[in-house]
Amino acid sequence: MLAVKGLKANVGGKEILRGLDFSVGPGEVHAIMGPNGSGKSTFAHVLSGREGYEVTAGSATFEGQDLLALEPEERAQLGLFLAFQYPVELPGVNNTYFLKAALNSILKARGQPELDAVSFLRLIKEKLKILHLDDSLLKRAVNAGFSGGEKKRNEIFQMALLEPKLAILDETDSGLDIDALRVVADGVNALRSPERSMIVVTHYQRLLDYIQPDHVHVLSKGRIIRSGGKELALELEEKGYGWIDAEGQAA
Amino acid sequence: MTSATAVDDIVGSEYEHGFTTEIASETFPPGLDEGVVRAISARKGEPEFMTEWRLKAYRHWLTMPEPAWAAVHYPKIDFQSISYFSAPKRPEDMPKSLDEIDPVLLDTYNKLGIPLEEQKALAGIAVDAVFDSVSVATTFRKSLAEAGVIFCSISEAVHDYPELIQQHLGSVVPHTDNYYAALNAAVYSDGTFVYVPKGVRCPMELSTYFRINARNTGQFERTLIVAEAGSYVSYLEGCTAPQRDENQLHAAVVELIAMDDAEIKYSTVQNWYPGDAQGKGGIYNFVTKRGDCRGARSKISWTQVETGSAITWKYPSCLLRGDDSIGEFYSVAVTKGRQQADTGTKMIHIGKNTSSTIVSKGISAGEGTQTYRGLVRIGPRAEGARNHTQCDSLLIGDRCSANTFPYIEVKHPSANMEHEATTSKISDDQLFYCRSRGLTEEDAVSMIVNGFCKEVFNELPMEFAVEAQKLLSISLEGAVG
Ligand SMILES: Nc1ncnc2c1ncn2[C@@H]1O[C@H](COP(=O)(O)OP(=O)(O)OP(=O)(O)O)[C@@H](O)[C@H]1O
Ligand SMILES: [Mg+2]
């Protein structure tokens, strides 16, 4: 589904991704862990097409298409979704209106019929239930004045609505209280399916207790330095990143 | 696509309504003197008092210097190179129904998205369409007449209701007020007159579409709306103009009068040709709009959406004379390309417990410059006066600018004044966020801009709000931060 090979990218003239190899098959959940500043968000942004990142080498294909040649909206229309580490506020833009426009834009690009107001509201009600989200958030402007946790939940709500093929969750767990974490994880699990893959970026084992990954990777200084099963996360929790770094140097 | 090229795309978005209708018009040769003023008056068969009124204004105009203080730049206007009268060919047999209207003209309206026939049936809007300088179509007269509302061209009003005209015309904006007001009084070609009698709630939104057409003919519209005690009227003004080479001067005067407990809502959606990428060929829009809250508890609201014109110089104002009267100003102004706008409002508090609200939303893109200039004056007798002013600017790109000049004069210690101002930019983060959800850059910009303007759009009548949003999307097509 996603195949990344030898990906190198610069930000502000500095090389942040330094030869990244990574692939995700249908229905798989991959966790990416790694120290602050190692390039996790950069990787997520490069995959979703943010401007300002200069790809200097390597490739990324998504469902056989050259992802890097596409505009961000085209990637979204193909079925890529990024849940932001720092969701952006859009003052004055009504949340429901925004979601409807986004969904219809995606449907339109896929040649599918757009939803009218009634069927959209029905869909929204259904998805709200999954995330135990208060519908008052939908009447407000996108993320404007939302608490940190509300913003993160809103991201997962968007994901539930847009039903992507590949979702990248960038530290969705940070800023969530314990109950919210559970709700979000339940929501994410409800969206797991054999056709839907996920990349979960996190610093904490706790999230992975709820969302059990098929694979765990450690990103350090712009490279995947270790991959393994879900037990790798436990080991990291216990020993910290220094352990792998030290091992890496010893080897 | 990089941000810089995307910004250039908006600047490059061509004026949608740029075409010229071919209708034979009878146009005066360029130039202005007493003879021309008399000829205009004679051509319209005006009574003596009107001719004298024009001449007085003309003579005063000669003594006035052209204003130079607004923060706009343009080549000096040669008033002798302008033609001061133009009319569709058969003014003596004015059409009685739409069937009599020149099909070319109807087609023009259709291209502008104003299907007159449909409008008649739709929304219940009475349309007094001004084409060039003479009204050519008026609908819904009858049901208005039943309510006792007068809605006609000002030329007709001069003939049919001379007392009302003599009593009110120039009573809010006297010819001595400013240079363009004096010029307008001398040479005004036509416009709209609305009279709502005591206690009458006007049964429909009144609407006029303006369109400048004949080459090189300045338009000098004159609008007078009188709302007698306890009455209510909502008036919509919208206009577009065809593309052309010379700059075109538009110097309109709008006077509103609200008596005790009366309310006037005046909404404008303005989309004149802004000129090409170099600013060449656009409309110069120097307008004097003033509302007089003459009676106690009267209310006047100005709502405007301005996207067009090369140069806009315009301050819809309220004189709050009646005790407890209310003045409101809601404005969205867009400048892009080389457009310049110097706009704002004046709220003059004279009576006791008067209150005013100002909400100004300025959007600049490309190399557009925009100045908000607002004056709030609390007079010595205006005990308990209140004002709330909110000025927000939204910048799209790095080459545009916005300035805000709030002037406040308070002569009564009890005044309660609030002022808020913000400047924001559409950020790359916001655009990327929207795009990562599958929205195009254009959709994202238009969504953010519409969100920014919401408070003002909420003040517009429904159909107009939809039109205004469309207009904004069209004028900011391809815009990116
Ligand atoms: N616009 C930029 N200009 C310069 N450096 C940048 C820019 N954006 C990111 N960086 C740098 O790139 C590096 C990787 O950042 P990134 O956000 O990808 O880290 P991360 O792994 O997501 O970290 P965290 O766990 O703290 O979220 C950091 O050193 C950061 O300072
Ligand atoms: Mg990060």
Write out pLDDT tens, residues B68-121: 755 667 778 888 888 787 655 443 444 455 555 555 445 545 555 554 543 333
Instruction: Report the pLDDT value the prediction gives residue B20, as an integer from 0 to 100.
Output: 47
Q: Chain A to chain B, count of Cβ pairs less than 8 Å apart?
A: 82
Find the CB nearest B435 among A72, A90, A158.
Answer: A72
Query: Which of A17-26, A115-124, B330-339, B387-396 has the weakest average pLDDT?
Result: B330-339
Which residues of chain B have a CB within 8 Å of the CB of A97?
447
Q: Which candidate from B428, B439, B450 shows the least CB-CB separation from A73?
A: B439
CB B157 within 8 A of CB B165: yes
Number of domains in chain A: 1
Low-confidence ranges of chain A (pLDDT < 50): 250-251
Query: Per the CB < 8 Å rule, is B438 touching A73?
Result: yes
Q: What is the residue whose two structure tokens read 């309220």?
A: B318
The candidate with the shortest Cα–Cα distance to B383, out of B408, B357, B406, B416, is B416
Could you say which residues from 430 to 449 on chain B have a Cβ atom under 8 Å away from some Cβ of chain A?
430, 432-441, 443, 447-448
The CB of A12 under 6 Å from ligand 1? The reply is yes
B chain contacts of residue A105, beta-carbon cutoff 8 Å: 437-440, 443
Q: pLDDT at position B124, please?
A: 32
Q: Could you tell me where the DSSP H helices lie in A67-146?
A: 72-78, 95-109, 117-131, 136-139
Report the separation in Å between the CA atom of A50 and the middle of ligand 1, taken as the mean of its atom positions: 13
Interface test with A, best of B426, B433, B440 (most A CBs within 10 A): B433
In this structure, what token pair is assigned to residue A4?
């990344």
pLDDT at B125: 35
Position B199 pLDDT exceeds 80: yes
Residue A36 Cβ inside 6 Å of ligand 1? The answer reads yes
Averaged pLDDT, B246-270: 88
Three-state secondary structure of chain B: CCHHHHHHHHHHCCCCCCCCCCCCEEECCCCCCHHHHHHHHHHCCCCHHHHHHHHHHHHHHHCCCCCCCCCCCCCCCCHHHCECCEEECCHHHCCCCHHHCCHHHHHHHHHCCCCHHHHHHCCCCEEEEEECCEEEEECCHHHHHHHCCEEEEHHHHHHHCHHHHHHHCCCCCCCCCCHHHHHHHHHCCEEEEEEECCCCECCCCEEEEEECCCCCECECEEEEEEECCCCEEEEEEEEECCCCCCCEEECCEEEEEECCCCEEEEEEEEECCCCCCCCCCCEEEEEEEEEEECCCCCEEEEEEEECCCCEEEECCEEEECCCCCEEEEEEEEEECCCCEEEEEEEEEECCCCCEEEEEEEEEEECCCEEEEEEEEEECCCCCCCEEEEEEEEEEECCCCEEEEEEEEEECCCCCEEEEEEEEEECCHHHHHHHHCCCCCHHHHHHHHHHHHHHHHHCCCCHHHHHHHHHHHHHHCCCCCC
Higher pLDDT, A234 or B198: B198
Distance of CA B116 to the CA centre of its chain: 21
- Is 70 exceeded by the pLDDT of residue B139? no
Confidence of residue B208 (pLDDT cuts 50, 70, 90): low
B64 touches chain A (CB under 8 A): no
Domain with A41 in it: 2-250
Counting ligands in written order, the one closest to the CA of A203 is 1
CB–CB contact B429 A162 (8 Å): no
Sole residue written with tokens 């815009």:
B479
**Residue of higher predicted confidence among A168 and B309:** A168
Most confident range, picked from A163-167, B115-119, B237-241, B467-471: A163-167
pLDDT greater than 80 at residue B444: yes
Helical (H) or strand (E) element with A46: helix A40-48
B454 and chain A in contact, CB less than 8 A: yes
Give me the interface pTM, i.e. the ipTM: 0.95
Both tokens of B334, joined, read 């867009």
Cα–Cα distance for residue pair A156/A172, rounded to 1 Å: 8
Q: What is the CATH number of the domain that holds A59?
A: 3.40.50.300
Contact between residue B156 and residue B237 where contact means Cβ atoms under 8 Å apart: no
pTM for the structure as a whole: 0.79
Specify the residue for token string 């929204």: A124
A76 contacts in chain B (CB < 8 Å)? 435-438
